Amino acid sequence: MVTVKEVQSKVDLKKFVKFPFSLYKGSPYWVPPIIKDELESFNPNKNPVFKNAEATFFLAYKNGKIVGRVAAIINWLEVKDQNLKKMRFGWFDFVDDFEVSQALLEKVADIGKSHQLDYMEGPVGFSNLDKVGVLIEGFDHIGTMITWYNHPYYQSHYEKHGFVKEKEYLENKFLASNADPKLFVKANLLIKKRYGLREMNFEKSTEIMPWVDKMFDLFNNTYSSLASFVKITDVQKEYFKKKYISFINPEYIKFVVDAQNELVAFAIVMPSFSKALQKAKGRLFPTGIFHLLKAKKQSKDVIFYLIGIHPDYQNKGVTAIIFNEYHKTFSERGIVNCIRTPELEENTAIRQMWKHFDPIIHKRRRTYKKEL
């Protein structure tokens, strides 16, 4: 018999965070989070997303053993401002037992119904900067710190429980050597001259900080038309600024500004921390921090995390400026592999942007939906 209990203590929340460590023990593809960071992201006193969202965490037990978990989430900005009556759920992990997954999903559905929401969708996080989607292809590729990994049986559980495909996401990768300078060096000069633009590169994180709010404003402006977009609020900007920007190599952040020094495009790339996180085993100390710092300096794989272009400059070749700058940086650092984060299958513009780099789709992931 399966029993589902709501997480109501720090001890149980730590069990919630650590459950995947046993579920994926020995997997060469699963990338563990830093336990401390994961706990803080679930803390309403530390994560500002809780000013506009709420979450309830559940653990499933069978024969006295933890066999599953799920976070039931309501983003009130989405529900009230966008009138999307959606019950979100994420951090959904379980053993291959349909009774377990069903019991957890029923808890999510109960919360959604109690708030008169129309449907539930997952796996998703609190916002657009969280992890998204259940992996349905590419199980033999290592994960990243910004995606969930899961066993192949997950998909069958969603479908057996009456869920249907809502959104599909593609993950691509390509060799840095595929970036032929002929594709963007000349275009870079033409575009800068035509529109009065210039690139901005950075050597220190402190140089970036005054621009971060503008960057997130541009992010909101760039993606507001996409399905499921929830804007980044001012308090979240401060949170992400303090938590992440200082940890990203400053030379991996590129800006493009116009003649008035207004930001028109940006891109953020991160070194791959996947293997370092596997070595850290969820802990920064005593040795985890050294694995991460080493990866920050020496990783030959990079992840394209975010890219944003002002609507007035989309489809005008501004990406040639960004690609030109990254080509120079990657050549200096000896970067080998470029990995892109999950992109909506319907986002044809982003695929068009990368077509000359001969990308390979190596993973697919999906969110599932069910009416309440």
Instruction: Check if the beta carbon of residue 243 is closer than 8 Å to that of residue 268.
Output: no
Instruction: Let me know if the fold of 2-170 is the same as that of 174-364.
Output: yes
Tokens at 69, concatenated: 């978990």
Look at residue 109 and tell me whether its pLDDT is greater than 80: yes
CA separation for the pair 90, 131 (Å, rounded): 9
Alpha helices by DSSP H, listed for the chain, are 10-23, 35-41, 76, 98-114, 154-160, 185-195, 205-208, 212-223, 234-243, 274-280, 288-298, 319-333, 348-354
Look at residue 226 and tell me whether its pLDDT is greater than 70: no
pLDDT tens track for 11-26: 999 999 999 999 999 9
CA separation for the pair 240, 130 (Å, rounded): 12
Query: Which of 120-129, 164-173, 191-200, 227-236 is the least confident region?
Result: 227-236
| Burial call 150-159: b when 16+ CB within 10 Å, e when fewer | bbeebbebbe
Per-domain boundaries in the chain: 2-170, 174-364
pLDDT tens track for 206-216: 999 999 999 99
CA separation for the pair 211, 295 (Å, rounded): 26
Looking at residue 270, the DSSP 8-state letter turns out to be E
For residue 139, what pLDDT is reported? Answer: 98
pLDDT tens track for 24-80: 999 999 999 999 999 999 999 999 999 999 999 999 999 999 999 999 999 999 999
pLDDT tens track for 144-190: 999 999 999 999 999 999 999 999 999 999 999 998 888 899 999 99
Question: Of all residues in the chain, what percent are helix, strand and coil, respectively (each to 5)?
Answer: 40, 25, 30
* pTM attached to this predicted model: 0.94
Q: Up-side HSE of residue 40: CA atoms within 13 Å toward CB? A: 9
Q: How confident is the model at residue 128 (pLDDT cuts 50, 70, 90)?
A: confident
Instruction: Check if the beta carbon of residue 299 is closer than 8 Å to that of residue 50.
Output: no
For residue 98, what pLDDT is reported? Answer: 98
CATH fold, domain 2-170, is Aminopeptidase (3.40.630)
CATH number, domain 174-364, options 3.40.50.1980, 3.40.630.30, 3.40.50.1220, 3.40.50.1100: 3.40.630.30
Backbone angles phi, psi at 202, to 5 degrees: -130, 150
Query: Region 294-319: what's the mean pLDDT?
Result: 94
For residue 28, what pLDDT is reported? Answer: 98
Instruction: Check if the beta carbon of residue 127 is closer than 8 Å to that of residue 75.
Output: yes
